[in-house]
Chain A
Amino acid sequence: MTGALRIEGLEKSFVLHTQGGVRLPVLAGLDLEVEPGECVALHGPSGVGKSTVLRCVHGNYRADAGRILVRHREGVMNMVTAHPREVLAVRRETIGHVSQFLRVIPRVSAADVVAETLRDRGTDRESADDAARSILHRLNIPPELQQLAPATFSGGEQQRVNLARVLVAHYPVLLLDEPTASLDRENREVVIDLIREAAGRGAAILGIFHDAAVRDAVATRVVAMDTGREAA
Protein backbone atom coordinates (compact mmCIF):
# COMPACT_ATOMS: atom_id res chain seq x y z
CA MET A 1 0.00 0.00 0.00
CA THR A 2 1.49 3.29 -1.08
CA GLY A 3 -1.54 5.45 -0.39
CA ALA A 4 -2.87 6.82 2.84
CA LEU A 5 -6.19 5.10 2.20
CA ARG A 6 -6.91 1.93 0.25
CA ILE A 7 -10.28 0.32 -0.30
CA GLU A 8 -10.38 -3.27 -1.60
CA GLY A 9 -13.52 -5.14 -2.67
CA LEU A 10 -15.79 -3.13 -0.42
CA GLU A 11 -19.29 -4.59 -0.25
CA LYS A 12 -22.19 -3.12 1.58
CA SER A 13 -25.90 -3.74 1.55
CA PHE A 14 -28.68 -2.82 3.94
CA VAL A 15 -31.23 -5.30 5.20
CA LEU A 16 -34.35 -3.54 6.40
CA HIS A 17 -35.80 -5.92 8.99
CA THR A 18 -38.56 -3.55 9.95
CA GLN A 19 -39.76 -3.48 6.37
CA GLY A 20 -40.16 -7.12 5.60
CA GLY A 21 -36.46 -7.86 5.44
CA VAL A 22 -35.89 -5.99 2.17
CA ARG A 23 -32.27 -6.13 1.11
CA LEU A 24 -30.74 -3.03 -0.52
CA PRO A 25 -27.43 -3.78 -2.23
CA VAL A 26 -25.35 -0.60 -2.37
CA LEU A 27 -21.67 -1.41 -2.87
CA ALA A 28 -20.59 -4.59 -4.64
CA GLY A 29 -16.83 -4.64 -4.63
CA LEU A 30 -15.38 -1.16 -4.67
CA ASP A 31 -11.62 -0.71 -5.10
CA LEU A 32 -9.99 2.63 -4.56
CA GLU A 33 -6.69 4.09 -3.38
CA VAL A 34 -5.96 7.65 -2.32
CA GLU A 35 -2.40 8.92 -2.14
CA PRO A 36 -1.25 11.68 0.19
CA GLY A 37 -1.84 15.06 -1.49
CA GLU A 38 -4.53 13.63 -3.74
CA CYS A 39 -8.16 14.72 -3.75
CA VAL A 40 -10.36 12.00 -5.20
CA ALA A 41 -13.96 12.90 -6.01
CA LEU A 42 -16.67 10.23 -5.93
CA HIS A 43 -19.19 10.98 -8.63
CA GLY A 44 -22.53 9.44 -9.48
CA PRO A 45 -26.28 9.75 -9.23
CA SER A 46 -28.08 10.29 -5.97
CA GLY A 47 -28.44 7.10 -3.94
CA VAL A 48 -25.58 5.34 -5.67
CA GLY A 49 -23.63 4.91 -2.40
CA LYS A 50 -21.15 7.77 -2.30
CA SER A 51 -21.86 8.75 1.31
CA THR A 52 -21.99 5.07 2.19
CA VAL A 53 -18.39 4.72 1.05
CA LEU A 54 -17.29 7.61 3.23
CA ARG A 55 -19.25 6.31 6.19
CA CYS A 56 -17.74 2.85 5.83
CA VAL A 57 -14.28 4.39 5.78
CA HIS A 58 -15.13 6.35 8.90
CA GLY A 59 -16.40 3.22 10.64
CA ASN A 60 -19.87 4.66 10.91
CA TYR A 61 -21.31 1.96 8.63
CA ARG A 62 -20.31 -1.64 8.92
CA ALA A 63 -18.91 -3.12 5.71
CA ASP A 64 -20.13 -6.57 4.66
CA ALA A 65 -16.91 -7.57 2.95
CA GLY A 66 -13.63 -6.14 1.71
CA ARG A 67 -10.90 -4.15 3.39
CA ILE A 68 -10.51 -0.48 4.15
CA LEU A 69 -6.88 0.13 4.94
CA VAL A 70 -5.82 3.38 6.56
CA ARG A 71 -2.31 4.44 7.32
CA HIS A 72 -2.52 5.09 11.04
CA ARG A 73 0.30 5.90 13.43
CA GLU A 74 3.20 3.69 12.35
CA GLY A 75 1.05 1.01 10.76
CA VAL A 76 -2.02 0.22 8.75
CA MET A 77 -5.49 -0.22 10.20
CA ASN A 78 -8.25 -2.18 8.51
CA MET A 79 -11.37 -0.22 9.42
CA VAL A 80 -13.59 -3.17 8.53
CA THR A 81 -12.21 -5.35 11.28
CA ALA A 82 -10.87 -2.75 13.69
CA HIS A 83 -12.08 -2.83 17.29
CA PRO A 84 -14.31 0.12 18.18
CA ARG A 85 -11.52 1.55 20.34
CA GLU A 86 -9.17 1.45 17.40
CA VAL A 87 -11.78 3.09 15.21
CA LEU A 88 -12.07 5.87 17.78
CA ALA A 89 -8.30 6.30 17.81
CA VAL A 90 -8.23 6.50 14.00
CA ARG A 91 -11.00 9.07 14.10
CA ARG A 92 -9.18 11.10 16.67
CA GLU A 93 -5.81 11.07 14.98
CA THR A 94 -6.05 10.09 11.34
CA ILE A 95 -9.41 10.48 9.64
CA GLY A 96 -11.47 13.66 9.62
CA HIS A 97 -15.01 13.28 8.34
CA VAL A 98 -17.16 16.21 7.25
CA SER A 99 -20.58 14.59 7.10
CA GLN A 100 -23.51 15.83 5.09
CA PHE A 101 -25.22 17.03 8.24
CA LEU A 102 -23.82 18.47 11.39
CA ARG A 103 -24.62 16.41 14.42
CA VAL A 104 -23.78 18.52 17.39
CA ILE A 105 -24.15 18.32 21.09
CA PRO A 106 -26.98 20.56 22.20
CA ARG A 107 -25.94 23.60 24.25
CA VAL A 108 -22.27 23.39 23.33
CA SER A 109 -21.10 26.54 21.54
CA ALA A 110 -19.73 26.50 18.00
CA ALA A 111 -16.33 27.57 19.31
CA ASP A 112 -16.27 24.68 21.77
CA VAL A 113 -17.44 22.17 19.18
CA VAL A 114 -14.49 23.15 17.04
CA ALA A 115 -11.95 23.41 19.85
CA GLU A 116 -12.96 20.01 21.16
CA THR A 117 -11.45 18.35 18.09
CA LEU A 118 -8.05 19.69 19.08
CA ARG A 119 -8.48 19.12 22.79
CA ASP A 120 -9.31 15.47 22.12
CA ARG A 121 -5.99 15.27 20.30
CA GLY A 122 -4.16 16.61 23.32
CA THR A 123 -3.90 20.32 22.48
CA ASP A 124 -4.12 22.60 25.49
CA ARG A 125 -7.32 24.55 25.96
CA GLU A 126 -5.92 27.94 25.09
CA SER A 127 -4.28 26.95 21.82
CA ALA A 128 -7.35 24.94 20.88
CA ASP A 129 -9.59 27.95 21.52
CA ASP A 130 -7.29 30.21 19.47
CA ALA A 131 -7.24 27.82 16.55
CA ALA A 132 -11.02 27.40 16.72
CA ARG A 133 -11.56 31.14 16.70
CA SER A 134 -9.28 31.65 13.79
CA ILE A 135 -10.73 28.96 11.50
CA LEU A 136 -14.31 30.00 12.34
CA HIS A 137 -13.32 33.55 11.52
CA ARG A 138 -11.90 32.39 8.24
CA LEU A 139 -15.18 30.64 7.48
CA ASN A 140 -16.99 33.90 8.23
CA ILE A 141 -18.66 32.82 11.47
CA PRO A 142 -18.66 36.08 13.45
CA PRO A 143 -17.53 36.05 17.09
CA GLU A 144 -21.08 36.53 18.42
CA LEU A 145 -22.23 33.42 16.62
CA GLN A 146 -19.17 31.42 17.72
CA GLN A 147 -20.37 31.60 21.29
CA LEU A 148 -23.80 30.15 20.47
CA ALA A 149 -24.81 26.53 20.11
CA PRO A 150 -25.09 25.68 16.37
CA ALA A 151 -28.49 24.01 16.78
CA THR A 152 -30.25 27.20 15.71
CA PHE A 153 -27.79 28.09 12.93
CA SER A 154 -28.80 28.23 9.27
CA GLY A 155 -27.92 25.30 7.03
CA GLY A 156 -24.92 27.11 5.59
CA GLU A 157 -23.65 28.20 9.00
CA GLN A 158 -23.96 24.69 10.35
CA GLN A 159 -22.06 23.38 7.38
CA ARG A 160 -19.23 25.80 8.00
CA VAL A 161 -19.05 24.83 11.66
CA ASN A 162 -18.96 21.23 10.53
CA LEU A 163 -16.06 22.01 8.22
CA ALA A 164 -14.26 24.01 10.87
CA ARG A 165 -14.46 21.24 13.45
CA VAL A 166 -12.67 18.90 11.04
CA LEU A 167 -10.32 21.22 9.21
CA VAL A 168 -9.08 22.82 12.42
CA ALA A 169 -6.96 19.71 12.89
CA HIS A 170 -4.58 18.56 10.19
CA TYR A 171 -5.86 15.04 9.62
CA PRO A 172 -3.81 12.89 7.19
CA VAL A 173 -7.06 11.56 5.68
CA LEU A 174 -10.11 13.70 4.99
CA LEU A 175 -13.58 12.55 4.02
CA LEU A 176 -15.71 15.40 2.70
CA ASP A 177 -19.39 14.78 1.99
CA GLU A 178 -20.70 17.69 -0.10
CA PRO A 179 -18.85 20.26 1.98
CA THR A 180 -20.12 23.20 -0.05
CA ALA A 181 -23.71 22.09 -0.70
CA SER A 182 -25.42 24.92 1.13
CA LEU A 183 -22.75 27.59 0.89
CA ASP A 184 -22.82 30.89 -0.93
CA ARG A 185 -20.19 31.79 -3.47
CA GLU A 186 -17.89 33.65 -1.13
CA ASN A 187 -17.79 30.85 1.43
CA ARG A 188 -17.41 28.26 -1.28
CA GLU A 189 -14.16 29.98 -2.27
CA VAL A 190 -12.91 29.84 1.32
CA VAL A 191 -13.66 26.12 1.48
CA ILE A 192 -11.91 25.49 -1.84
CA ASP A 193 -8.85 27.25 -0.45
CA LEU A 194 -8.97 25.23 2.74
CA ILE A 195 -9.23 21.95 0.81
CA ARG A 196 -6.31 22.88 -1.40
CA GLU A 197 -4.25 23.82 1.62
CA ALA A 198 -5.01 20.44 3.17
CA ALA A 199 -3.98 18.63 -0.01
CA GLY A 200 -0.89 20.82 -0.12
CA ARG A 201 -0.01 19.61 3.38
CA GLY A 202 -0.21 16.06 2.08
CA ALA A 203 -3.67 15.04 3.24
CA ALA A 204 -5.32 12.24 1.30
CA ILE A 205 -8.80 13.53 0.50
CA LEU A 206 -11.82 11.52 -0.57
CA GLY A 207 -14.81 13.72 -1.31
CA ILE A 208 -18.23 14.11 -2.83
CA PHE A 209 -18.71 17.42 -4.63
CA HIS A 210 -22.00 17.97 -6.45
CA ASP A 211 -20.99 21.41 -7.60
CA ALA A 212 -18.96 20.89 -10.78
CA ALA A 213 -17.04 24.14 -10.27
CA VAL A 214 -15.90 23.05 -6.83
CA ARG A 215 -15.07 19.57 -8.07
CA ASP A 216 -13.00 20.99 -10.90
CA ALA A 217 -11.25 23.31 -8.51
CA VAL A 218 -10.18 20.69 -5.94
CA ALA A 219 -10.33 17.18 -7.41
CA THR A 220 -7.14 15.63 -8.75
CA ARG A 221 -9.11 12.57 -9.89
CA VAL A 222 -12.77 11.67 -10.32
CA VAL A 223 -14.14 8.18 -9.63
CA ALA A 224 -17.50 7.51 -11.24
CA MET A 225 -19.97 5.27 -9.43
CA ASP A 226 -22.86 3.41 -11.06
CA THR A 227 -25.88 1.88 -9.41
CA GLY A 228 -25.16 -1.64 -8.20
CA ARG A 229 -21.60 -1.76 -9.42
CA GLU A 230 -18.91 0.81 -9.58
CA ALA A 231 -16.09 1.55 -11.94
CA ALA A 232 -12.76 2.82 -10.85
Chain B
Amino acid sequence: MACDDRPLLSARGLTRYYGRILGCRDVNFDIWPGEVLGIVGESGSGKTTVLKCISARLEPSAGTVTYDTRTEGPVDIHRISEPARRLLMRTDWGFVHQDPRDGLRMAVSAGANIGERLMAVGARHYGQIRETATNWLGKVEMDTGRMDDLPCTFSGGMQQRLQIARNLVTAPRIVFMDEPTGGLDVSVQARLLDLLRGLVSDLGLAAVVVTHDLAVTRLLSHRLLVMRHGTVVETGLTDQVLDDPQHPYTQLLVSSVLHP
Protein backbone atom coordinates (compact mmCIF):
# COMPACT_ATOMS: atom_id res chain seq x y z
CA MET B 1 0.00 0.00 0.00
CA ALA B 2 2.03 2.95 1.23
CA CYS B 3 5.16 1.47 -0.29
CA ASP B 4 4.28 2.62 -3.81
CA ASP B 5 6.56 5.56 -4.32
CA ARG B 6 4.60 7.15 -7.13
CA PRO B 7 1.24 8.85 -6.71
CA LEU B 8 -1.64 7.42 -8.69
CA LEU B 9 -3.04 10.86 -9.37
CA SER B 10 -1.59 14.33 -8.88
CA ALA B 11 -3.19 17.73 -9.23
CA ARG B 12 -0.94 20.73 -9.69
CA GLY B 13 -2.10 24.33 -9.80
CA LEU B 14 -5.58 23.17 -10.65
CA THR B 15 -7.70 26.20 -11.45
CA ARG B 16 -11.12 26.48 -12.98
CA TYR B 17 -13.16 29.57 -13.68
CA TYR B 18 -16.75 29.56 -14.85
CA GLY B 19 -16.56 32.76 -16.81
CA ARG B 20 -15.71 35.21 -14.09
CA ILE B 21 -16.91 32.99 -11.26
CA LEU B 22 -14.17 31.08 -9.47
CA GLY B 23 -14.72 27.32 -9.26
CA CYS B 24 -11.36 26.43 -7.74
CA ARG B 25 -7.90 27.96 -7.71
CA ASP B 26 -4.39 26.57 -7.41
CA VAL B 27 -5.37 23.23 -5.92
CA ASN B 28 -2.50 20.81 -5.36
CA PHE B 29 -2.53 17.26 -4.05
CA ASP B 30 -1.46 13.67 -4.65
CA ILE B 31 -3.35 10.45 -4.19
CA TRP B 32 -1.51 7.18 -3.75
CA PRO B 33 -2.87 3.75 -4.63
CA GLY B 34 -5.27 2.50 -1.97
CA GLU B 35 -5.66 5.91 -0.40
CA VAL B 36 -8.95 7.64 0.29
CA LEU B 37 -8.93 11.40 0.10
CA GLY B 38 -11.81 13.39 1.51
CA ILE B 39 -12.73 16.86 0.25
CA VAL B 40 -14.85 18.87 2.66
CA GLY B 41 -16.07 22.43 2.71
CA GLU B 42 -19.25 24.42 2.65
CA SER B 43 -21.60 24.45 -0.31
CA GLY B 44 -20.10 26.30 -3.26
CA SER B 45 -16.54 25.98 -2.01
CA GLY B 46 -15.43 24.18 -5.18
CA LYS B 47 -15.44 20.54 -4.13
CA THR B 48 -17.40 19.29 -7.12
CA THR B 49 -15.36 21.46 -9.44
CA VAL B 50 -12.15 19.83 -8.23
CA LEU B 51 -13.68 16.37 -8.48
CA LYS B 52 -14.81 16.96 -12.04
CA CYS B 53 -11.46 18.36 -13.08
CA ILE B 54 -9.48 15.43 -11.69
CA SER B 55 -11.87 12.91 -13.25
CA ALA B 56 -11.68 14.54 -16.70
CA ARG B 57 -15.31 15.57 -16.68
CA LEU B 58 -14.37 19.21 -16.73
CA GLU B 59 -11.40 20.91 -18.30
CA PRO B 60 -9.41 23.10 -15.93
CA SER B 61 -8.66 26.70 -16.87
CA ALA B 62 -5.10 26.10 -15.71
CA GLY B 63 -3.02 23.42 -14.03
CA THR B 64 -2.47 19.74 -14.66
CA VAL B 65 -3.88 16.43 -13.54
CA THR B 66 -1.45 13.57 -13.87
CA TYR B 67 -2.60 9.97 -13.72
CA ASP B 68 -0.30 6.98 -13.53
CA THR B 69 -1.69 4.64 -16.19
CA ARG B 70 -1.15 0.90 -16.04
CA THR B 71 0.56 0.73 -19.37
CA GLU B 72 2.13 4.08 -20.17
CA GLY B 73 2.94 5.49 -16.76
CA PRO B 74 2.01 9.05 -15.81
CA VAL B 75 -0.02 11.05 -18.34
CA ASP B 76 -1.70 14.43 -18.23
CA ILE B 77 -5.33 13.39 -18.45
CA HIS B 78 -6.37 16.62 -20.11
CA ARG B 79 -3.71 16.29 -22.80
CA ILE B 80 -4.09 12.69 -23.90
CA SER B 81 -6.34 11.79 -26.82
CA GLU B 82 -10.02 11.67 -26.22
CA PRO B 83 -10.31 7.92 -26.90
CA ALA B 84 -7.56 7.25 -24.35
CA ARG B 85 -9.27 9.46 -21.82
CA ARG B 86 -12.66 7.90 -22.34
CA LEU B 87 -11.16 4.45 -22.07
CA LEU B 88 -9.69 5.38 -18.70
CA MET B 89 -13.07 6.71 -17.63
CA ARG B 90 -14.83 3.46 -18.26
CA THR B 91 -12.13 1.07 -17.11
CA ASP B 92 -9.67 2.52 -14.60
CA TRP B 93 -11.97 5.08 -13.03
CA GLY B 94 -15.36 5.04 -11.44
CA PHE B 95 -17.63 7.96 -10.79
CA VAL B 96 -20.41 7.77 -8.21
CA HIS B 97 -22.83 10.64 -8.59
CA GLN B 98 -24.80 12.19 -5.79
CA ASP B 99 -27.97 11.72 -7.81
CA PRO B 100 -28.16 8.09 -8.98
CA ARG B 101 -30.16 9.21 -12.00
CA ASP B 102 -26.98 10.84 -13.28
CA GLY B 103 -25.00 7.65 -12.88
CA LEU B 104 -27.45 4.94 -13.86
CA ARG B 105 -29.33 4.06 -17.00
CA MET B 106 -32.81 4.20 -15.61
CA ALA B 107 -34.39 2.49 -18.63
CA VAL B 108 -32.45 -0.76 -18.40
CA SER B 109 -32.33 -3.45 -15.72
CA ALA B 110 -29.96 -3.56 -12.76
CA GLY B 111 -28.05 -6.40 -14.42
CA ALA B 112 -27.60 -4.43 -17.63
CA ASN B 113 -26.47 -1.41 -15.64
CA ILE B 114 -23.72 -3.47 -14.06
CA GLY B 115 -22.90 -5.34 -17.26
CA GLU B 116 -22.59 -2.23 -19.39
CA ARG B 117 -18.99 -1.46 -18.55
CA LEU B 118 -18.04 -5.07 -19.23
CA MET B 119 -19.69 -4.98 -22.63
CA ALA B 120 -18.07 -1.62 -23.28
CA VAL B 121 -14.67 -3.23 -22.93
CA GLY B 122 -15.58 -6.13 -25.16
CA ALA B 123 -17.27 -8.79 -23.02
CA ARG B 124 -19.43 -10.82 -25.40
CA HIS B 125 -20.52 -13.80 -23.36
CA TYR B 126 -23.98 -13.23 -21.95
CA GLY B 127 -23.69 -15.95 -19.31
CA GLN B 128 -20.42 -14.62 -17.97
CA ILE B 129 -21.59 -11.02 -17.99
CA ARG B 130 -24.67 -12.04 -16.06
CA GLU B 131 -22.72 -14.06 -13.57
CA THR B 132 -20.32 -11.19 -12.89
CA ALA B 133 -23.24 -8.79 -12.53
CA THR B 134 -24.94 -11.15 -10.10
CA ASN B 135 -21.76 -11.37 -8.03
CA TRP B 136 -21.52 -7.63 -7.86
CA LEU B 137 -25.12 -7.25 -6.85
CA GLY B 138 -24.28 -9.58 -3.97
CA LYS B 139 -21.14 -7.67 -3.10
CA VAL B 140 -23.11 -4.46 -2.70
CA GLU B 141 -25.52 -6.43 -0.52
CA MET B 142 -28.49 -6.36 -2.82
CA ASP B 143 -30.99 -9.13 -3.38
CA THR B 144 -29.78 -10.86 -6.53
CA GLY B 145 -33.43 -11.57 -7.31
CA ARG B 146 -33.72 -7.89 -8.28
CA MET B 147 -31.27 -8.41 -11.13
CA ASP B 148 -33.82 -7.85 -13.89
CA ASP B 149 -35.69 -4.99 -12.25
CA LEU B 150 -35.41 -1.41 -13.41
CA PRO B 151 -33.49 0.99 -11.14
CA CYS B 152 -36.58 3.19 -10.80
CA THR B 153 -38.15 0.44 -8.72
CA PHE B 154 -35.30 0.69 -6.20
CA SER B 155 -34.96 2.87 -3.10
CA GLY B 156 -32.40 5.66 -3.04
CA GLY B 157 -29.96 3.54 -1.04
CA MET B 158 -30.31 0.62 -3.44
CA GLN B 159 -29.78 2.91 -6.40
CA GLN B 160 -26.53 4.12 -4.85
CA ARG B 161 -25.45 0.52 -4.29
CA LEU B 162 -26.23 -0.25 -7.90
CA GLN B 163 -24.25 2.75 -9.00
CA ILE B 164 -21.30 1.54 -6.96
CA ALA B 165 -21.51 -1.98 -8.39
CA ARG B 166 -21.78 -0.59 -11.92
CA ASN B 167 -18.56 1.32 -11.37
CA LEU B 168 -16.55 -1.35 -9.60
CA VAL B 169 -17.26 -4.16 -12.05
CA THR B 170 -14.28 -3.30 -14.23
CA ALA B 171 -11.96 -3.23 -11.19
CA PRO B 172 -11.11 0.47 -11.41
CA ARG B 173 -8.11 1.78 -9.51
CA ILE B 174 -9.71 5.01 -8.41
CA VAL B 175 -13.28 6.01 -7.74
CA PHE B 176 -14.56 9.56 -7.58
CA MET B 177 -17.59 10.09 -5.38
CA ASP B 178 -19.63 13.25 -5.08
CA GLU B 179 -21.69 13.23 -1.88
CA PRO B 180 -22.30 9.48 -2.22
CA THR B 181 -24.56 9.42 0.82
CA GLY B 182 -26.13 12.77 0.06
CA GLY B 183 -29.85 12.34 -0.32
CA LEU B 184 -30.21 9.33 1.96
CA ASP B 185 -31.78 8.72 5.38
CA VAL B 186 -29.34 8.51 8.24
CA SER B 187 -29.67 4.76 8.70
CA VAL B 188 -29.40 4.05 4.96
CA GLN B 189 -26.44 6.39 4.82
CA ALA B 190 -24.73 4.45 7.61
CA ARG B 191 -25.11 1.11 5.87
CA LEU B 192 -23.82 2.55 2.63
CA LEU B 193 -20.81 3.93 4.43
CA ASP B 194 -20.05 0.53 5.94
CA LEU B 195 -20.24 -0.97 2.49
CA LEU B 196 -17.99 1.65 0.96
CA ARG B 197 -15.48 1.34 3.76
CA GLY B 198 -15.34 -2.41 3.31
CA LEU B 199 -15.06 -2.30 -0.48
CA VAL B 200 -12.42 0.38 -0.52
CA SER B 201 -10.19 -1.49 1.90
CA ASP B 202 -10.84 -4.99 0.50
CA LEU B 203 -10.16 -3.91 -3.07
CA GLY B 204 -7.31 -1.55 -2.23
CA LEU B 205 -9.12 1.16 -4.15
CA ALA B 206 -8.04 4.75 -4.20
CA ALA B 207 -10.96 7.11 -3.81
CA VAL B 208 -11.77 10.78 -3.69
CA VAL B 209 -14.88 11.47 -1.67
CA VAL B 210 -16.53 14.86 -1.74
CA THR B 211 -18.82 15.49 1.17
CA HIS B 212 -19.91 18.21 3.51
CA ASP B 213 -20.46 15.62 6.24
CA LEU B 214 -17.42 15.46 8.50
CA ALA B 215 -18.57 12.19 10.08
CA VAL B 216 -18.59 10.57 6.66
CA THR B 217 -15.10 11.73 5.92
CA ARG B 218 -13.84 10.64 9.36
CA LEU B 219 -15.05 7.13 8.60
CA LEU B 220 -13.93 6.88 5.00
CA SER B 221 -10.93 9.00 4.29
CA HIS B 222 -7.28 8.77 5.24
CA ARG B 223 -6.53 12.33 4.29
CA LEU B 224 -8.54 15.47 4.02
CA LEU B 225 -8.62 18.64 1.96
CA VAL B 226 -10.62 21.50 3.44
CA MET B 227 -11.88 23.93 0.82
CA ARG B 228 -13.26 27.40 1.06
CA HIS B 229 -14.00 29.95 -1.65
CA GLY B 230 -12.37 27.72 -4.27
CA THR B 231 -9.06 27.20 -2.49
CA VAL B 232 -7.66 24.55 -0.20
CA VAL B 233 -7.24 26.11 3.24
CA GLU B 234 -5.99 23.07 5.08
CA THR B 235 -4.88 19.56 4.35
CA GLY B 236 -3.59 16.67 6.42
CA LEU B 237 -4.37 13.37 8.06
CA THR B 238 -8.13 13.20 8.55
CA ASP B 239 -8.09 12.81 12.32
CA GLN B 240 -5.42 15.47 12.67
CA VAL B 241 -7.40 18.00 10.64
CA LEU B 242 -10.57 17.23 12.56
CA ASP B 243 -9.04 17.01 16.06
CA ASP B 244 -6.44 19.76 15.78
CA PRO B 245 -7.68 22.06 13.04
CA GLN B 246 -5.29 24.92 12.30
CA HIS B 247 -7.16 27.20 9.95
CA PRO B 248 -9.88 29.45 11.35
CA TYR B 249 -12.33 28.15 8.77
CA THR B 250 -11.62 24.50 9.63
CA GLN B 251 -12.07 25.28 13.30
CA LEU B 252 -15.41 26.86 12.53
CA LEU B 253 -16.43 23.88 10.41
CA VAL B 254 -15.43 21.40 13.11
CA SER B 255 -16.94 23.37 15.98
CA SER B 256 -20.26 23.68 14.22
CA VAL B 257 -20.93 19.95 14.20
CA LEU B 258 -21.70 17.79 17.17
CA HIS B 259 -19.46 14.80 16.50
CA PRO B 260 -17.03 15.48 13.70
Assess whether B240 is in contact with A17, with CB atoms less than 8 Å apart. Answer: no
Assess whether B194 is in contact with A108, with CB atoms less than 8 Å apart. Answer: yes
A200 to B187, CA, bound (A): 45
Say if the beta carbon of A75 comes within 8 Å of chain B: no
Query: B1-45 CB contact bits vs A (8 Å, 1 = yes)?
Result: 010000000000000000000000000000010010000000000
A86 to B223, CA, bound (A): 12
Query: B79-105 CB contact bits vs A (8 Å, 1 = yes)?
Result: 000000000000000000000000000
A88 to B35, CA, bound (A): 11
List chain B residues, Cβ under 8 A from A16.
Answer: 251
A106 to B191, CA, bound (A): 10
List chain A residues, Cβ under 8 A from B149.
Answer: none
Query: A85-119 CB contact bits vs B (8 Å, 1 = yes)?
Result: 11111000000000000000111100000000000
Interface residues on A, range: 20 to 34
Assess whether B237 is in contact with A59, with CB atoms less than 8 Å apart. Answer: yes
Assess whether B244 is in contact with A85, with CB atoms less than 8 Å apart. Answer: no
Assess whether A17 is in contact with B243, with CB atoms less than 8 Å apart. Answer: no
List chain A residues, Cβ under 8 A from B190.
Answer: 106-107
Assess whether A88 is in contact with B197, with CB atoms less than 8 Å apart. Answer: no
Nearest A residue to B222 via CB reads A88
Assess whether A107 is in contact with B194, with CB atoms less than 8 Å apart. Answer: yes
Question: Which residues between 199 and 247 of chain B lie within 8 Å of chain A, taking CB atoms?
Answer: 219, 222-223, 236-237, 239-240, 243-244, 246-247
Nearest A residue to B215 via CB reads A106
Assess whether A55 is in contact with B243, with CB atoms less than 8 Å apart. Answer: yes
List chain A residues, Cβ under 8 A from B219.
Answer: 105
Assess whether A61 is in contact with B243, with CB atoms less than 8 Å apart. Answer: yes
Assess whether A105 is in contact with B243, with CB atoms less than 8 Å apart. Answer: no
Say if the beta carbon of B252 comes within 8 Å of chain A: yes
Say if the beta carbon of A18 comes within 8 Å of chain B: yes
Contact of B223 among A84, A105, A107 (CB under 8 A): A84
Question: Which residues between 1 and 54 of chain A lie within 8 Å of chain B, taking CB atoms?
Answer: 14-18
Assess whether A60 is in contact with B248, with CB atoms less than 8 Å apart. Answer: no
Say if the beta carbon of B128 comes within 8 Å of chain A: no
List chain B residues, Cβ under 8 A from A86.
Answer: 2
A17 to B255, CA, bound (A): 11
A50 to B246, CA, bound (A): 20
Say if the beta carbon of A138 comes within 8 Å of chain B: no
Say if the beta carbon of A210 comes within 8 Å of chain B: no
A61 to B124, CA, bound (A): 53
Assess whether A60 is in contact with B243, with CB atoms less than 8 Å apart. Answer: yes
Q: How many Å from the CB of B69 to the closest CB on chain A?
A: 21
Assess whether A84 is in contact with B243, with CB atoms less than 8 Å apart. Answer: no
Assess whether B236 is in contact with A62, with CB atoms less than 8 Å apart. Answer: yes
Assess whether B240 is in contact with A62, with CB atoms less than 8 Å apart. Answer: yes
Question: Which residues between 57 and 86 of chain A lie within 8 Å of chain B, taking CB atoms?
Answer: 59-62, 84-86
Q: How many Å from the CB of A150 to the closest CB on chain B?
A: 15
Assess whether A61 is in contact with B244, with CB atoms less than 8 Å apart. Answer: yes
Contact of A87 among B32, B237, B247, B251 (CB under 8 A): B237
List chain A residues, Cβ under 8 A from B2.
Answer: 85-86, 88-89
Assess whether B236 is in contact with A84, with CB atoms less than 8 Å apart. Answer: yes
A61 to B236, CA, bound (A): 11
Query: B244-260 CB contact bits vs A (8 Å, 1 = yes)?
Result: 10111001100100000
A62 to B243, CA, bound (A): 10
Nearest B residue to A15 via CB reads B246
Nearest B residue to A85 via CB reads B2
A81 to B157, CA, bound (A): 41
Contact of B252 among A18, A84, A108 (CB under 8 A): A18
Q: Given A84-B237, A85-B2, A85-B35, A17 and B252 touching (CB < 8 A)?
A: yes
List chain A residues, Cβ under 8 A from B222.
Answer: 84-85, 88
A137 to B163, CA, bound (A): 41
A18 to B255, CA, bound (A): 8
User: Apart from A17-B252, A18-B248, A85-B32, what 4 extra A-B contacts exist at CB < 8 Å?
Assistant: A60-B243, A87-B240, A105-B194, A108-B194
8 A-B residue contacts at CB 8 Å? A14-B244, A60-B240, A60-B244, A85-B223, A87-B240, A105-B194, A105-B197, A107-B191
The 8 tightest CB contacts between A and B, nearest first, are A17-B248, A84-B237, A61-B244, A89-B2, A85-B2, A17-B251, A84-B223, A18-B251
